């Protein structure tokens, strides 16, 4: 189970982070919609990339994996809160909520919590 969760997070966060850092149009639109500046949103992208690296290290350094898994839980929980503040519906909220859940499960597994 831990390997599957690691793969999901390690695959998703670098691509999400890179598109955020590159300021591709959908990310600029999301940042604006949620009330973030482009610079702040780019900072979130850098954190997403760093989290992926830490999650990958979790297999050999469990404390690093646990710490890195906590970041996505917090950032995606913040994304859910942002969408709720804007009155968004389930289609907008579900990706962040699902990612927060996967990250929480990862953090609770042996690779994330040993």
Name the residue among 4, 45, 2, 3 with its Cα closest to residue 24. 45
Tokens of 96: 């962040």
Centre a 10 Å sphere on the Cβ of residue 18 and count the other Cβ atoms it contains: 15
Tokens of 70: 């906590």
Name the residue among 95, 78, 114 with its Cα closest to residue 6. 114
Q: Is the dihedral of CA 5, 9, 10, 12 positive or negative?
A: positive
Residue 112 pLDDT > 60:
no
The answer to pTM > 0.75 is yes
The answer to whether the beta carbons of residues 18 and 46 sit under 8 Å apart is no
Residue 109 pLDDT > 70:
yes
Q: What is the pLDDT of residue 93?
A: 96
Q: What is the pLDDT of residue 113?
A: 52
The answer to whether the beta carbons of residues 10 and 56 sit under 8 Å apart is yes
CA distance 30 to 105: 26
Q: What is the pLDDT of residue 111?
A: 59
Tens-place pLDDT, residues 24-81: 888 889 899 999 998 998 898 898 899 889 988 888 888 888 888 898 999 999 999 9
The answer to whether the beta carbons of residues 77 and 100 sit under 8 Å apart is yes
């Amino acid at each position: 189970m831990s390997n599957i969760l690691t793969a999901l997070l390690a695959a998703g966060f670098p691509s999400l982070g890179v598109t955020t850092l590159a300021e591709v149009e959908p990310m600029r639109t999301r940042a604006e919609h949620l009330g973030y500046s482009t610079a702040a949103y780019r900072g979130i992208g850098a954190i997403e990339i760093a989290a992926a690296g830490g999650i990958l290290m979790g297999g050999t350094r469990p404390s690093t994996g646990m710490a890195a898994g906590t970041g996505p839980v917090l950032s995606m929980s913040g994304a859910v809160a942002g969408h709720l503040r804007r009155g968004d519906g389930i289609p907008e909220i579900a990706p962040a909520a699902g990612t927060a859940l996967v990250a929480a499960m990862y953090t609770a597994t042996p690779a994330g919590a040993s």
